[in-house]
Structure 1
Amino acid sequence: MHRVQIHARDLRIIDPLLSYPSAILGRERAIVLNLEHIKAIITSEEVLLRDPSDDNVTPVVEELRRRLKPMNANREDQREEKDSNVQHDIETTDEDESPFEFRALEVALEAICSYLAARTLELETAVYPALDMLTSKISSRNLDRVRKLKSQMTRLTARVQKVRDELEQLLDDDDDMADLYLSRKLAGASPVSGSGAASWFLASPTIGSKISRASRASIATVRGDENDVEELEMLLEAYFMQIDGTFNKLTTLREYIDNTEDYINIQLDNHRNQLIQLELFLSSGTVCSSIYSLIAGIFGMNIPYSWNEEHGYMFKWVVAISGIICAVLFILIISYARFKGLVGS
């Protein structure tokens, strides 16, 4: 903490055992970075990574070594020529692409954006076939598969949105972006504070000499507008657009899932309506059959009728007429239901 001048609460942000949202915090001498599995402290001259041997962090370490090594070599050459030509040293430094902390931050942002984009692509390749299969055949297996993929998509969307919101918050606040200019603050501390800066690093002449060299190297920047954050803004905007594109892909994927769910619900409603129609047909037929059975049951009772012996043929006519009446009644019920739009044509 004394080395990079940060508080204990800043260390909790990069603690893997604690759950903290994605954050990019600018401190006096360091940038505290918490982006998913990338947890680091960036200073104007070094990068401190949490668990660099992790499989997800190893590519970041290799990329940091690749991108930061040429700049370190240039600085060594500049240090050798410092005594002979100070002015040449300043001009050479001014030609550097960007400060050390910005190049390290760019590596971290590129890594996390690429990582989330890759996870999104993997999810897309799994979700679309699963939804198509569910659309063609609704089964418990397909439903469970889509449910699991939807849960993964929800978690991934939350992770992407946290990174996106953090970048958007930084872009909306120029003061927060200005706090990330470590080299500028380091260069401005020496000529302004004078003896104050010397008292800070009195016990470490190596760090003091580094500050002195950084001050001379960044003298042109200090003379400029200290509130100018255009360089960092362009850097953050580039990766904000990338993470926003990933977020839009997930949003489109969620809409596709919602549309598929609506389509499946429509199919289920259609099947439900067909079952209701079948139930209506069966109920109507049951009512008509009950009426017919009632008439047949009345005449089948052992009750003496005065006309039964003389007019035995009447039973046949009653049965036939009752059947015709029940059939007509059934047709009328179905016709009325179709007229009211209760069943399909």
Structure 2
Amino acid sequence: MAHVVPADPQAAVTLKKKAQPSRSWALLDSTGETTFLDVDKYAIMHRVNIHARDFRILDPLLSYPSTILGRERAIVLNLEHIKAIITSEEVLLRDPSDEYVVPVVQELQRRLPPVNAIHQGQDYKGGQNDVEAGDEGESPFEFRALEVALESICSFLAARTLELETAAYPALDALASQISSRNLDRVRKLKSAMTRLTARVQKVRDELEQLLDDDDDMADLYLSRKLAGASPVSGSGAANWYPASPTIGSKISRASRASIATIRGDENDVEELEMLLEAYFMQIDGTLNKLTTLREYIDDTEDYINIQLDNHRNQLIQLELLLSSGTVCLSLYSLVTAIFGMNIPYTWNDDHGYMFKWVILVSGIVSAILFILIMSYARLKDLVGS
């Protein structure tokens, strides 16, 4: 009789947790304070007021190109490993424990605090850092957060490009000096890595270029401007799942003042954001140019290798021609000797034994002359062709 074994509830819960994607988020406010959250996507969507189709862009299980979307109250950012939602008051960063995301969190903590917080007691080493922080304090919160994300992704891709260049150029030189299976396989892997990296850099560059070409899309990224033009109730409408900061009113007023001072009262002025995007567009374009130069170097190496292979192939063809010509001449000589060497009585061969020797000698000389003529003709055609 069969027995039914009851399922282990704890094991089922464990499997369910493993099957679910990571829902860890880092929440950074305008003072740089960080709070780590473990919430589902509906809570995030309710707080930042975005649609599900926009949130799917941040899903690590789905493959979406690099995207910067401006919505009514948030900026949805998907740049390689940086998946974030930026509002006028806070930044929500996905998977903050990832090794590539940890430096981004640290940089946000350093650069998000406003100017007055720096003067009240934050210690930044060196006068250059103070000037940098002061410049950032003059920009709206969302631009400072966006700048950190763009700087991080551009630096990340530039570092990957430098690593690829460091490995590719010596491998290509080694392949040019010695064509071997090991060098060919090494260059093949590096070329595949370069193709993938070029596609990633191209996606980021295309997204920045698309933003720079559309002033309306850039205007959508001015969250503080929208907040300044909205009523206090609608501007601070947040979800109740997370306690609101008691200083939210001061944050809104500070963001409004910064936005008004920055945009100078012109709602269609996107000069500040345009300069910000242009700076990182030039940086990512420089990275793409390095990859293009590397691709051209690979193509040149391939052309050089093909020339070498063609040269070896021509040498083999010449050797084959030499052997074929020698074989034909020897065949003619062997044919003559075989005919006169047969044991058949000939009336004209009586008392003329010297005739066989002369025929053999003359056939050998004719075969040698024929071989020389064939090789001279081949040499002459080779010189005329070159």
Matched, 1:263 2:304: yes
- Aligned equivalents of 1:210, 1:342: Cα separation in 2: 84
Q: Which residue of 2 aligns with 1:317?
A: 358
Question: Aligned to 2:59, what secondary structure does the other structure show?
Answer: coil
- Aligned equivalents of 2:336, 2:48: Cα separation in 1: 100
Q: Kindly state the Cα deviation for residue 343 of structure 1 after the two structures are TM-superposed.
A: 9.3
Q: Which residue of 2 aligns with 1:308?
A: 349
Q: Which residue of 2 aligns with 1:13?
A: 57
1:237 aligns with one of 278, 283, 292: 278
Q: Kindly state the Cα deviation for residue 197 of structure 1 after the two structures are TM-superposed.
A: 2.9
Question: Aligned to 2:108, what secondary structure does the other structure show?
Answer: helix
The answer to whether the Cα contact below 8 Å between 2:57 and 2:64 also exists between their aligned partners in 1 is: yes
Q: Kindly state the Cα deviation for residue 224 of structure 1 after the two structures are TM-superposed.
A: 1.3
- From the superposition, tell whether residues 230 and 311 of structure 1 become closer, same or farther in structure 2 (CA, over 3 Å): same
2:106 aligns with one of 28, 38, 62: 62
The answer to whether the Cα contact below 8 Å between 2:47 and 2:239 also exists between their aligned partners in 1 is: no
Give the residue type in structure 2 aligned to 1:296. Answer: T
Matches within 5 A, 1:194-273: 197=234, 210-211=251-252, 214-215=255-256, 218-220=259-261, 224-273=265-314
- From the superposition, tell whether residues 209 and 121 of structure 1 become closer, same or farther in structure 2 (CA, over 3 Å): closer
- Aligned equivalents of 2:119, 2:59: Cα separation in 1: 33
Q: Kindly state the Cα deviation for residue 69 of structure 1 after the two structures are TM-superposed.
A: 2.4
Give the residue type in structure 2 aligned to 1:197. Answer: S
Q: Can you list the C-alpha shifts for 1:278-325, whole angstroms capped at 9, x where unaligned?
A: 111111111110000000000111100123330101111100100000
Q: Can you list the C-alpha shifts for 1:103-157, whole angstroms capped at 9, x where unaligned?
A: 1001000100000000000000100000011011101111001000000000000
The answer to whether the Cα contact below 8 Å between 1:201 and 1:208 also exists between their aligned partners in 2 is: no
- Aligned equivalents of 1:69, 1:315: Cα separation in 2: 111
What percent of counterpart residues are identical?
83
Q: Which residue of 1 aligns with 2:177?
A: 136
- Aligned equivalents of 1:292, 1:65: Cα separation in 2: 93
Give the residue type in structure 1 aligned to 2:106. Answer: E
Matched, 1:25 2:69: yes
- Aligned equivalents of 1:150, 1:95: Cα separation in 2: 40
The answer to whether the Cα contact below 8 Å between 2:139 and 2:259 also exists between their aligned partners in 1 is: no
Please report the TM-score for the alignment, with normalisation by the length of structure 1.
0.87
- Aligned equivalents of 2:255, 2:191: Cα separation in 1: 51
Question: Aligned to 1:310, what secondary structure does the other structure show?
Answer: coil
- From the superposition, tell whether residues 67 and 202 of structure 1 become closer, same or farther in structure 2 (CA, over 3 Å): closer
Gaps of 5+ in 1: 78-92
Q: Which residue of 2 aligns with 1:48?
A: 92
The answer to whether the Cα contact below 8 Å between 1:30 and 1:42 also exists between their aligned partners in 2 is: yes
Q: Can you list the C-alpha shifts for 1:196-224, whole angstroms capped at 9, x where unaligned?
A: 73895798796567545644664555761
Alignment coverage as a number of residue pairs = 326
- From the superposition, tell whether residues 117 and 199 of structure 1 become closer, same or farther in structure 2 (CA, over 3 Å): closer
- From the superposition, tell whether residues 219 and 157 of structure 1 become closer, same or farther in structure 2 (CA, over 3 Å): closer
Gaps of 5+ in 2: 1-44, 122-133
